[in-house]
Structure 1
Amino acid sequence: MDKLSFLEVIAAIAVFISLLLAVFLLTVKTERKLENRLFAAFLIINAIDISGLFMHIFVDSYNLKTFKISAYLLVMPLFYLYVNAVCYSDFTLKRKHLLHLIPFIVANLILVPRLYLAQGAAKEAFFKAMWHSPEMFFYQVIGELQFFFYIVAVFLILKKYKKIYLENYTNPSTLLYKWLSQLTRIFLVIHVCIILKNIVRYTQHKDLFIWLNIVAGTVFLLAACWFILKALNYPELFRRIDSTLQPTNDFVEILKTDNKSDEIKSFQIQQLKNFMVEKEPFLEPSLTIQELADQVGIPVRDLSVLINHHINQHFFDFVNEYRIKKAMTILKDPSKKECTVLEILYKVGFNSKSSFHTSFKKYTNQTPTAYRNS
């Protein structure tokens, strides 16, 4: 099998898996319909884009082939909207999101005179030399600027998500942040291959151009398979946050101007610590800062500032510290020798073995088993 045939096979498999996963996302029963639909659309557009590697076998239409090329300008907007929908529970599609179509529309409009409206030999001549035309140069500039804009926007969303999550939630799972970060980095790798491929396109190194296509197609295929494995292994992967929540830094300066004395703040901190020891609210795996604020009787913003700036811990770490201390007590209790580590981690508020072991080692520099036997 020569390189071109191998490339076509890789592309065909990637398209098949992407479309299969898209159909699953569109038909599966779930409360998270918007995220599934956006990711399904993302997969379909990617499948359309990568189908260009073998489309010539089945399609002769120059218009359709060119429209396929321009469809790539829908990939990053869909991924950006998907990340928003996954991260924020109150995210909905609005009319303003139609603005994301502008690069795609502009790219097609500039091709109208010399391609879409052209006929016969003129259309064929333009298509054959298309990648050397001013129109396609403009298209590639738009594509690179768009990619850079959206990739930065996605990383900013994930950065904000992680900060808000650590300041407001205690569910030990951070799979969402890790998974989306990994997925975004994979797209970076694929796009680097695309950039190199586009540069090599204008040289005489045709073999290198084909190999770069093979690498990009293979990475995309592996990414699609990886997503399926993630979905199977972690069906409850995502925990979303409310987009109206703000990082503590956004409002801490306002609260610093209040007239509360250091004595009052010290009293509230002691009140909070006593409440954590006596009532043990940390035993609830999904405890949020809003729920703790309601229980302890401190306004949620005041509580956030107390924990993040006066105790100098994220809410996530603050609560997990009490969970680890409780686990340490159980592990050293002779009457609880029969309790397994798995039973203990669930008993103290964790819901993941890996998260428990990571947090335990962070606080004790030992594994739970080593601590019990020491």
Structure 2
Amino acid sequence: MKQYIFNIHDVVLLMTAAECLLLAVFQAILPTRSRHDGRLLIAFLLIIAVASACTLALWNDQFSLAPWLEQTLLPYLLFSALLLKGPAIYLYVCSLTRQNFTFTRGMALHLLPALLVILCLAIFNISSNDLRHAAAGQGFSATVISLVWDLASLAPFAYAVAALRQLRRYRHALKDEYSHYSEVELNWLTALVWGVCVAWAWTTVVHVVAKFSSQSVADYMGIADNYLSFILINAFFAYSLTYAHQLLATQPEETSQERVPEEDEPSEPAIEKVRNAMESDKIYLKKNLNLEQFSDRIALPAKEVSAVINKHFGTNFFEYVNSYRVEAAKSLLADPGKADMTVLDVLLESGFNSKSAFHRFFSRLVGMSPTEFRKQALADAKVS
């Protein structure tokens, strides 16, 4: 009777490893290879390739490798990959969402979990067989193996959560610095990172279930984990080709040494400058207005303008500018002399440059669509 080396689930791992290698090579020849996000994506792909190949080699009994590779080197490669995939995805997100992102010495701290596990493997001379039969083992060595697996399962999930927090900070930064931005690229990246978070949370669940349930249940859950990884790898590569380069830059975050104490309340002259720029100069009519352009126009530092908008007016730059634009649109829509203007003409003349953003923002602030508002306002004007 024929014996198959790989079953269909093993093939998924094999395809994931092979595809990651091919995508890493392809990413390396793209123009974005010189950017940090391109390099980090290549690193992430290679790490996933190693993790998939090592997982396949560890749990497949139908083929064997050289003894030194299978028993000695394999555990080091496997756990290094499992504990480096988290930092790789976190730093990839940081490189996309931080202006002038650079590698620093402090980032070496992300290597500590992997180095700690490698040290444990070396001290206790843990082999592949020890990893396979850890559940049946006893003693201090089995406890160490259990803790190593725990760390390899939990650490990537923690990094995925950190990546989500970074995206949240980036979204807030966009609203503080831009009056208009496309949410498509950011929403896609957020969805992908949520996918990673869910997938790695599932990995943690599989690990916990394996401790307290039957092996067959854990195996089926682990197989689903492999399929999720395969799907996510394709999604990340597609994102890097289509949307990654379109994300807007934000001001770099201040370090604790750079932060200076801020006044409790902005000065009255600064408040008046910001108010006059909006009410007299109607600077909000400028399309794609950002905080830097606004601050240059009124000769105030960007930090001071941001402080006025945040602390005095209690909002962010995005909301502040667009609220004026909505008021301008309401005036145009309610004017009988402008009844021949289309809604598109109105939104463009009000400073908006996106139909979807205008409708979404107008409906949220006014409580009805622009068309409904115009109909009601013109009807009221006729009655009066």
Equivalent residue number for residue 159 of structure 2: 150
1:307-347 superposed Cα distances (whole Å, 9 cap, x missing partner): 11211221110111223334445556666846563x66556
Structure 2 match to 1:194: 203
TM-score in terms of structure 1 length: 0.79
2:286 is equivalent to residue 276 of structure 1? no
Structure 1 position 128, deviation (Å): 4.1
CA contact (8 A) 1:172 1:352 kept: no
For 1:84, the equivalent position in structure 2 comes to 94
Aligned to 1:45, which of 44, 47, 53?
Answer: 47
Please tell me the residue identity of whatever aligns with 1:193: W
Range 7-16 or range 302-311, more displaced: 7-16
Distance in 2 separating the partners of 1:220 and 1:347: 47
> Which one scores higher on RCO, CA 8 angstroms, separation ≥ 6?
1
Tell me what 1:321 maps to.
323
Render the CA deviation track for 1:89-146: whole Å, top value 9, x for unaligned: 1220123322322221221222225547xxxxxx575354246523322312433563
Partner of 2:173: 164
User: What is the one-letter code of the residue matched to 1:50?
Assistant: S
Q: Which runs of 5+ in 2 are unaligned?
A: 377-384
1:127-276 correspondence runs (5 A): 128-130=132-134, 132=137, 133-143=142-152, 146-147=155-156, 149-175=158-184, 178-202=187-211, 205-231=214-240, 234=243, 236-244=245-253, 254-256=262-264, 260=267, 265=268, 268-276=270-278
Deviation sequence 1:229-278 (CA, Å, 0-9, x none): 545653654113222459xxx87x731278x5xxxx2x654543332244
Answer with 166-175 or 356-365: which moved more: 166-175
TM-score, normalized by length of structure 2?
Answer: 0.77
- Say which of 290, 293, 296 aligns to 2:292: 290
Distance 1:324 1:101 in 2: 49
Question: Is contact 2:199–2:229 with CA below 8 Å preserved after alignment?
Answer: yes
Aligned position for 2:107: 97
Q: 1:52 to 1:372 in 2, by over 3 A?
A: farther
Distance 1:72 1:125 in 2: 18
CA distance in 1, matches of 2:129, 2:217: 25
Structure 1 gap segments, 5+ residues each: 117-122
**CA shift digits 1:41-82 (9 cap, x unpaired):** 112212322334544466623134323421100011112222
Secondary structure, counterpart of 1:201 in structure 2: helix
1:22, distance to aligned residue in structure 2 (A): 3.1
Q: Secondary structure of 1:36's match?
A: helix
Work out the percentage of aligned pairs sharing the same amino acid. Answer: 24
In structure 2, what is the Cα distance between the partners aligned to 1:31 and 1:125?
A: 39
Q: 2 CA distance for matches of 1:37 and 1:243?
A: 20
CA RMSD of aligned residues (A): 3.6
Aligned residue identity for 2:214 = H
Decide which moves more: 279-288 or 206-215.
279-288
* Aligned equivalent of 1:126, options 108, 127, 130: 130
Distance 1:221 1:86 in 2: 22
